[in-house]
Amino acid sequence: MRRFFEVPAHVGIYVLAILLAVVQAYDILTRPLPLPQVVEVANRSVVAIACKSGAHMFITAGFVSSERGYVTTVAHGLPACRGKEGNIEVKFWDNPLTYKAKIVRYNKMVDVAILHIDHMPRIAPLRFATEEPRAGTHIIALGHPQMLFWSASDGIISADRWSEHPLLHIIQVSCPINFGNSGGPVINDKGQVVGITSFMINNPSLGFIIAGDFVKSVANGL
């Protein structure tokens, strides 16, 4: 008669405890962060960009998009700094130092630019969302409206507004957009980038962002 191996009761309890610990750890790691924490983590990767040329200075936002020192922002805030007389300075959240940056990619039509910073502090880059946001998706715009640095405002995706030009994908959003928001990341509740703030029409509550897929297309050109 075949005899089966019997597992002592205390061993079974240990195995069950280990399995429960693994399940709990997985739940903690995959559980969405509270929105205040999502914003705090994302703000660490948001930068303030000062384009200085002569007596003029233009402030825009941007975000760290690569561990190799690259920052993504809008192109329309940088024309004055494309010449020899212009210079770009970047500041990071909770960091008193100022870093010099140079333009490595500039696409006026898509309104996206990529900067590079030598010896950039070690900061985790923001990741792009893998799926296009649908109308009604909750979003958070990060940036520096009216020089109020590292501000957050929320809203929803209002509509997908493809431009008449086949190479420009813009999305209408309901979150307030002001001067200084340009170039800042617009993130979903997971902290993933769905686009970057580009422009507003007549009213700060009617804003438009460049879709993340087009932002990535410029960044991938590197």
Taken in order of first residue, the domains within the chain and their CATH numbers are: 41-116 (2.40.10.10), 138-219 (2.40.10.10)
Full-model pTM: 0.82
Q: Does residue 129 surpass a pLDDT of 80?
A: yes
Mean pLDDT of 7-20: 64
pLDDT of residue 218: 80
Of 141, 56, 50, nearest to 91 (Cα)?
50
Q: How many CB atoms lie within 10 A of CB 122?
A: 6
Q: What is the DSSP letter of 115?
A: E
How far from each other are the two terminal CA atoms of the chain, in whole angstroms?
71
Q: Does residue 210 surpass a pLDDT of 70?
A: yes
pLDDT of residue 28: 45
pLDDT of residue 29: 46
Euclidean distance between CA atoms 20 and 8, whole angstroms? 19
Left, alpha or beta for 54 (phi > 0: left; psi -120 to 50: alpha)?
left
Lowest mean pLDDT among 123-127, 156-160, 162-166, 214-218: 162-166
Q: What is the DSSP letter of 128?
A: B
Q: Where are the alpha helices (DSSP H) in 44-171?
A: none
Residue 22 backbone phi and psi in degrees, to 5: -65, -45
Q: Among residues of the chain, what percentage have pLDDT more than 70?
A: 80
Q: Does residue 95 surpass a pLDDT of 70?
A: yes
What does pLDDT average to over the chain? 85
pLDDT of residue 31: 57
202: pLDDT confidence band, cut at 50, 70 and 90?
confident
